[in-house]
Each structure stands twice: as C-alpha cells, then as structure tokens.
C-alpha cells in the first residue's frame, strides 16, 4: 500500500464490459423491464435454485412485496432478528404489522434460532431470518420451526447471494428469498432487488403488485389491486447481469481476502467472526467486535485518520429512534448480543478491488487498537 492511499469501507467494481452492456440498453430505447430484466431473473433463479425470480427496484421493496402478497397486515406479528439493517423490520411496519425481535448469536450475528419459538403465538404470521453480512443463518433449523407452526419464511438474503447451508443456496429454503443489488453488496446495479421463489400463485401476485396491480386479460389491462411501481429499469438489469457473470470469481476473491484477515488479525481486544462448518460466508462484510471499554466511534475516527474506512456494521433495530419511541424496548437487557454487535461492532473493508497486501496493511493497523 502506498502511503496516503485511503482505503474506503466499500467500493463497487464497475468494469468497461459492464458499462458497454448498460450502453447497449440505453441506445435501444427500451428502458424498463425489457429482455435484460428477464435475463437477470433467469440468472437469479439459477443461482438460488428456485423455479422463478422477480427483479424489482431495491432490496427493501422485495420484502415489502412478499409481505403484501402474503396478506400480512395490521394485528399480525412477524419475527425478525434484533440486529440487521433496519429495513428488515421497516417492511413489517410498512404493511401495518408488528415486528417481534429475537436476539442474535454472539459470533455469527445471525438470529438465535433457539429463541424463536418462545415468541410464536396466534398472531405470528411469518418469520424473516437474515443471512447477516453474507453468512447463511441456520436456515434449516428455522424452517423446521416454521413448518411445525405452519408459518411462511421470507429469507432476508439481501447481502448473501451465493451463500449456502449443506450445499443448498440461500433464497431457496423459504417461501421467498430477498436479495439486494445496492453498491455495498457483492454485485450491484446501484439500486435493485430480486425475489427468488417457487410458488406460482405467489409469483403471479407479486408480479401484479410490482406493476400497479395490473393483470392482463385478453389483451386488456385489469387493475386488480392498488399496487406499487417497484419495477426495475432494463439498464440496471444489464449492469447487474453483467456483474453476475463474475459472481463466482468475486466470491472466491472475497473468500481469499477473508483468510488474510483471519491469518493476520491478532488482537485480544477484537473478536473475530465465526463460520459454522455446515455453511459458507460470502463476506459482504467482515465484522469484528471491539472489547468493552474500547470506544467504537473514536476507533472509527482514528482509523479514518490512518487511512482506513470502517463503520458499525448494522443496527440494533429495537434501539433505533422509531422503534424505541413506539415500543419502548430495553435493548441492552433484552437483546444483549444485538446491542453489543451494534455498539461495539466494526465493519472492515473487504471487496473485490482490494489486494492481499491491502488487507495485511489494514490488519497491522487494527492489531494496534
Ligand atoms: C442491504 C440490506 C437491505 C436493504 O436493501 P436495499 O437494496 O438497500 O433496500 C435489507 N436487509 C439487509 C440485511 C441488507 O443488508
């Protein structure tokens, strides 16, 4: 690493071939939901191993559409992890239902499956587990509980494209899988999201809701529902599809870089993530936790001065202003692992454009915290 080179926390890799493919769509004049959207959907269903996929305008819209299509509404409860990007709970609020939070495991940052069942009651209508930071959660165990209580599972796989448990890819276990194409994820098109699913009736409903609630009957538009406009543009789909061709190479590179962190990071004041043997991590984020007594915000500032962009990794959702005001949760007591991950967590740079030498340099600095 040259001196004075700042390493940001994240930086998308947009190549000339990606730009060429976007330009082709722009020149064609077919800007919305054309052949690139259809192609991207086919790619996603192939990668996740589902019958179908539906591309939409962003990752949050994917979960909003699925909840809406499942008829989840006011008076219903949906189980979500207390630690995730806040969108996981916001979509539950957006359909008028109540998110019920479950704490996470300390080292995987995924939902603590053993604590799900105690939150299930007659109002519970769905479970949204998150494959946090790109690590598959114990989705098989989640599915067992869900099947016992006949609850649909929506997998928030926003940052986990390509992750798997026992060889089966995330996004294929639940009634629907939800992916994001935000620039912080492994592949991006700026804003974008994809739903993976098998159920034909659910697919039909979601496609309808994505496009103003329109159903075509004998060439006529029937406005069946008060739907959304959550469509994806074709030039975004072209960008995502072009990046998708490199997916396996991107995941391989990230895996190699993560190994450098595991080899180089040696600091008693920092706990490293854990990857259970039956699953893989796709390293959307390399997330460590600072020991109590180390000031997270001050550390982030000091690392910035030393040329490294870091940040906290995700929110303890019940502790955020809206949820705090509405429900008055006591996060430190009720969701201690989520609270610690939020208030002491640190996301380190890990993306395709970095080199092993970059990760070594970052590790040297982190080791001095
Ligand atoms: C990124 C992310 C989202 C939101 O996706 P957007 O495309 O930004 O709407 C939701 N959940 C998780 C876990 C995420 O990482």
Closest atom of ligand 1 relative to the 185 alpha carbon? 1
pLDDT tens for 15-62 read 999 999 999 999 999 999 889 999 999 999 999 999 999 999 999 999
Say how many Å lie between the CA of residue 73 and the centre of ligand 1.
21
Q: Which two tokens stand for residue 367?
A: 């080791």
- What atom in ligand 1 is closest to the CA of residue 192? 7
| CA pair distance 110, 265, nearest whole angstrom | 22
Residue nearest to atom 14 of ligand 1 (CA): 158
HSE, CB side, 13 Å, CA atoms: give it for residue 112: 18
Q: How far is the CA of 120 from the centre of ligand 1 (A)?
A: 25
Tokens 């500032």 belong to residue = 301
Distance, in Å, from the CA atom of 70 to the CA atom of 174, rounded to the nearest integer, reads 13
pLDDT of residue 4: 64
The atom of ligand 1 lying closest to the CA of 60 is 9
Using one digit for the tens of pLDDT, what is the confidence trace for 123-170?
999 999 999 999 999 999 999 999 999 999 999 999 999 999 999 999
Kindly give the distance from the C-alpha atom of residue 216 to the centroid of ligand 1, in angstroms, as a whole number. 31
Note the pLDDT of residue 33.
85
For a mutational test of ligand 1's pocket, the pick from 9, 12, 59, i.e. the residue with the most ligand atoms closer than 8 A to its C-beta, is: 59
Residue 367 alpha carbon to ligand 1 centre in Å: 30
And the tokens for 168? 């089966």
- Mean pLDDT confidence for 235-239: 98
Mean pLDDT of the region 338-343: 98
| Ligand 1 atom closest to Cα of residue 184 | 1
Cross-strand bridge partners of residue 289: 271, 345
Report residues whose beta carbon is within 6 angstroms of any ligand 1 atom: 58-60, 84-85, 87-88, 130, 156, 158-159, 180, 182, 193
Mean pLDDT for the chain overall: 97
Distance 368 CA to ligand 1 centre (A): 32
Ligand 1 centroid to residue 360 C-alpha, Å? 29
Task: Give the number of the atom of ligand 1 that is nearest the alpha carbon of residue 87.
Answer: 10
- With b meaning 16 or more CB within 10 Å and e meaning fewer, what string describes 176-194? bbbbbbbbbbbbbbebbbb
Q: What secondary structure letter does DSSP report for 111?
A: B
What tens digit of pLDDT does each residue of 164-193 get? 999 999 999 999 999 999 999 999 999 999
- pLDDT, residue 1, reads 46
Q: Which residues pair with 127 in a beta bridge?
A: 79, 153
- Greatest distance between any 2 Cα atoms in the chain: 69
For residue 122, how far is its CA from the centre of ligand 1 (angstroms)?
Answer: 29
| CA distances from residue 34 to 41, 233, 235, 328 in whole angstroms, order as listed | 11, 8, 9, 46
Task: Specify the pLDDT at position 3.
Answer: 54
Which candidate, 188, 337, 187, 212, places its Cα nearest to that of 274?
337
Which residue CA neighbors atom 7 of ligand 1 most closely?
Answer: 59
Q: Give 93 Cα–ligand 1 centroid separation in angstroms.
A: 16
Cα(344)–Cα(53) distance, rounded to whole angstroms?
A: 37
CA pair distance 68, 344, nearest whole angstrom: 35
- Ligand 1 atom nearest residue 62's Cα: 9
Nearest CA to ligand 1 atom 2: 158
* Residue 221 alpha carbon to ligand 1 centre in Å: 32
* 345-348, strands of its sheet edge to edge: 270-271, 286-290, 345-348
The pLDDT tens digits for 70-89 are 999 999 999 999 999 999 99
Residues 3, 353: Cα–Cα separation, whole Å: 18
């Amino acid at each position: 690493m040259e001196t004075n080179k700042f390493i940001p926390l994240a930086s998308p890799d947009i190549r000339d071939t990606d730009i060429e493919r976007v330009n082709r769509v722009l020149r064609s004049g077919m800007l919305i939901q054309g052949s690139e959207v259809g192609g991207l959907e086919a790619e996603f269903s192939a990668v996740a191993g589902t019958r179908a996929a539906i591309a939409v305008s962003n990752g949050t819209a994917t979960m909003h559409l699925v909840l809406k299509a499942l008829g989840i509404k006011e008076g219903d409860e949906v189980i979500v992890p207390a630690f995730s990007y806040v969108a996981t709970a916001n979509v539950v609020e957006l359909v008028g239902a109540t998110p019920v939070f479950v704490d996470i495991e300390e080292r995987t940052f995924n939902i603590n499956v053993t604590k799900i069942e105690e939150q299930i009651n007659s109002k519970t209508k769905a479970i949204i587990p998150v494959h946090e930071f790109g690590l598959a959660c114990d989705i098989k165990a989640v599915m067992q509980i869900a099947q016992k209580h006949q609850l649909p599972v929506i997998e928030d796989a926003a940052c986990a494209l390509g992750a798997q448990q026992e060889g089966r890819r995330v996004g294929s276990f639940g009634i629907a899988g939800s992916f994001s194409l935000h620039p912080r994820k492994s592949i991006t098109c700026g804003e974008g999201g994809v739903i993976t699913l098998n159920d034909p009736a659910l697919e039909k409903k979601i496609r309808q809701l994505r496009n103003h609630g329109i159903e075509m009957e004998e060439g006529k538009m029937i406005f069946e529902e008060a739907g959304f406009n959550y469509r994806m543009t074709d030039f975004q789909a072209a960008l995502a599809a072009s990046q998708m061709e490199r997916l396996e190479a991107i995941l391989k590179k990230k895996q190699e870089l993560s190994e450098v962190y595991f080899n180089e990071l040696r600091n008693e004041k920092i706990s490293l993530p854990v990857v259970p043997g039956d699953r893989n991590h796709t390293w959307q984020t390399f997330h460590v936790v600072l020991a109590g007594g180390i000031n997270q915000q001050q550390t982030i500032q000091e690392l910035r001065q030393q040329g490294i962009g870091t940040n906290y990794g995700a929110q303890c959702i019940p502790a955020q202003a809206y949820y705090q005001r509405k429900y008055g949760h006591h996060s430190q007591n009720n969701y201690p692992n989520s609270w610690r991950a939020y208030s002491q967590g640190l996301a380190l740079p890990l993306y395709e454009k970095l080199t092993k030498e970059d990760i070594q340099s970052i590790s040297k600095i982190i080791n001095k915290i």
